Amino acid sequence: MRISIACVGKIKEKYLTQGIAEYVKRLTPFCRLDIVEVDEERMPDNPSEAQKQQALAREGDRLLKTIRATSYLVALDVQGKQWSSEELAAKFEALAVNGKSDITFVIGGAFGIAPQVLAAAQERLSFSRMTFTHQMIRLLLVEQVYRGFKIWRGEPYHW
């Protein structure tokens, strides 16, 4: 299975990059995982709503260009459906059984995720009603992908 994470911006904190790298390494037996980063729009200190929407649109266009046409697209969106880890594992299995071996998760930037990305997504996934930084959610996502594969394979999840 091929899993991609398309996201806005780069990770700046070392502890996050180390955590993400650890889970990417652990996922090697289960899938190929790629992380594709697109540039985050530069904004003034107090952007107007119009500037935010323009930035969202440009980031969304860049994100969509990275997504393969054959990929099953899951947008991370606070308004999305919340899945348990077991439901994520079941989703991986159901997609695989139906011949979908290419999944892309999309993480928006500081101002959210663009409407055109949401419109293109087959699913919208919410981790919580709480707000997380887009850098932090990337770590949480790779951990949950790893946990989902362990559950799907019936393997224990322990360090």
Known binding-site residues for S-adenosyl-L-methionine equal 76, 108, 127-132
Q: Cα(135)–Cα(143) distance, rounded to whole angstroms?
A: 13
Measured torsion, CA atoms of residues 16, 21, 27, 29, in degrees rounded to the nearest 10 = -170
Helix (H, G, I), strand (E, B) or coil at 21: helix
d(CA 74, CA 80): 10
| Numbered residues of the known binding site | 76, 108, 127-132
